[in-house]
Copies of this chain bind each other. A is one copy, B any other.
Amino acid sequence: MITEIVQIDIKPGQEKDFEVAVEMAKPIFKRSKGWKSLEIKRSIEKPSRYRLFLKWETLENHTVDFREGPNYAEWRALVGPHFAAPPEVEHMTDVASF
């Protein structure tokens, strides 16, 4: 299991539209191979900044199966119009928690 972290700055004034678009994308992820969950959080310091935290069974489920398949284009068509800049994407593995 890996976590994809996406940092997205949204066009000011379109924050709620973006939040709705993410909710509308739920069926896209539900049918994506290896997708487990999505969390969306909003920055307190920079209210136009969001981060998405997506859990995937493997790195390739995101980078290959999702990114190179038809679901990615649908996802970007929904949320992309609200992006103020290209998102920053990084993948992380769990080390510990308490």
Contacts and interface: CB of A to CB of B under 8 A. Distances in A.
For the complex, would chain A's binding face be called helix, strand, loop or mixed by DSSP majority? strand
Interface in A50-98: 50-51, 59, 90-98
A66 to B, nearest CB: 16
When all copies of this chain in the complex are counted, the total is 2
Contacts of A40: 94-97
Interface residues of A, number: 31
Contacts of A98: 23, 26, 29, 37-38
A98 to B, nearest CB: 5
Contact of A45 (B26, B37, B91): B91
A91 to B, nearest CB: 4
Contacts of A2: 44
